[in-house]
Structure 1
């Protein structure tokens, strides 16, 4: 018998792991407690961006809204969601002008969520729940702190979200395409814990694989792959060139406690998943 790809997670040095391979909402395989709540960490940034897109289509905010300190720069919501705003990781002040480089961080996402909350006249957590979580039956997902790194969820719920991104019903196909394609292309930047890249593409909330090498996705993932990994030891991607094949793997061991192993095991698992499921329909 040929071992299934997800069995590779049994060797990971983590207390708890759950994972699933999906395509447009169909679960192709899963392993571990897929209903167990894990902290998503930075994967939650993709949920923040999706919530903002819903609000733009409802006319509450716009991606062109100018946000941030009055420092002479035209800094927009689009800049914030694609880490092109010039904000530092956690700093309240801007470090550079927008569109100079890809400066990944939590602060820009927090500012984006605050902007939506102010415009909507309701806490961001309530808008997230009403606009996204309730609509997608993500009943085990909740915001417990900063929207940039403190959303908790399950493999089951995250699979539902990835299905929405691949085949959207809460936003238009055009909005979904913007979220999952490079914004302000050509910017250099750093993927924390992975490396610096002269071309570091990012969509709206979603990291785009592009030609980054090495990378936390697989060597066989296409350059159009989008997703995110989190400092809580979590990862999720979708490859649109593989008919929306998606992988979610959540753990409860912080990334920095097994970074060297994770950057070997995540690509290995990703390649094995592609080997096993890329040809299935």
Structure 2
């Protein structure tokens, strides 16, 4: 039996899902070509584009942002966050508040899930490359991976649009890298940045610690969580408030993506771990 079949019983207007292993797609359900608003699942896509820019030498991962782009912050905020780097921004450790370009904590002091931080990443990459961030994301990530219907329709934090088929291409690259990023960069992206930071995981409350990589949320020992307790601590991925999610479990050698068009809520808190369990039972 297809372990994804339960997705068709979710209380959502539309849904599609797929599970992959290193050799390719293991199961699918729903209209995998249908495009969905990704919400915050946009963030890891934007992060990969920023890391491509780092590898191309356009921007530096560990150089303080106020040194090369003070105008993006303004003089007062640049002074307050003088040590903030792209690494901090990608891992939500920048000190920026969630929705406003202001200081919410000291740099590296705690994990603040910052949408405005990802908007700033887009501005920094555009400033460094001279290319609109949506176009850069398409050239750096979507086109090489053949994510043929994916696009960025606005904010790098939340306005991506893509199908399950598009995200299958991403997950295949993460499970069996073909060279989008250097192996060391990819290993860095899925490793905990600034270990031990406390913070709030949206929808799930305070986490001690709230582990994050470069664009990817890392499961660690978080509880409660949107993956299964049986997913390995090394599992990484993201979910979005539009009812979207994906994870990659390196220990199991599996990746799961599920996209819907119903906002995140109690239905997802129940359904997503159940789906993860079914996938691990079938293929783990």
Q: 1:71 aligns with which of 79, 89, 93?
A: 79
Counterpart check, 1:118 vs 2:162: no
In the TM superposition, what is the alpha-carbon distance from 1:167 to its structure 2 partner? 2.9
1:99-129: CA deviations, max 9, x gaps? 1110002111110111011000110111111
In the TM superposition, what is the alpha-carbon distance from 1:57 to its structure 2 partner? 0.8
Q: Specify the alignment match of 1:236 in structure 2.
A: 246
Q: 2:117 aligns with which of 108, 128, 145?
A: 108
Written as runs of structure 1 = structure 2, the 5 A alignment for 1:208-227 is 208-227=218-237
Q: Specify the alignment match of 1:99 in structure 2.
A: 108
Alignment partners' CA distance in 1, 2:176 and 2:61: 21
Q: Specify the alignment match of 2:20 in structure 1.
A: 22
RMSD in angstroms over aligned alpha carbons?
Answer: 1.1
In the TM superposition, what is the alpha-carbon distance from 1:25 to its structure 2 partner? 6.2
In the TM superposition, what is the alpha-carbon distance from 1:89 to its structure 2 partner? 1.2
Which one is further off, 16-25 or 208-217? 16-25
Alignment partners' CA distance in 2, 1:151 and 1:39: 6
Alignment partners' CA distance in 2, 1:88 and 1:264: 29
Alignment partners' CA distance in 2, 1:277 and 1:213: 24
* SS at structure 1 position matched to 2:16: strand
* SS at structure 2 position matched to 1:40: strand
Q: Specify the alignment match of 2:268 in structure 1.
A: 262
Alignment partners' CA distance in 2, 1:28 and 1:166: 13
* Displacement over 3 Å in runs of 4+: none
* SS at structure 1 position matched to 2:125: helix
TM-score (norm 2): 0.93
In the TM superposition, what is the alpha-carbon distance from 1:71 to its structure 2 partner? 2.1
In the TM superposition, what is the alpha-carbon distance from 1:214 to its structure 2 partner? 1.4
Q: Specify the alignment match of 1:271 in structure 2.
A: 277
- Matched length: 272
Alignment partners' CA distance in 2, 1:4 and 1:25: 18
Alignment partners' CA distance in 1, 2:164 and 2:94: 31
Alignment partners' CA distance in 2, 1:131 and 1:96: 32
TM-score (norm 1): 0.94
Q: 2:136 aligns with which of 127, 130, 142?
A: 127
Counterpart check, 1:204 vs 2:210: no
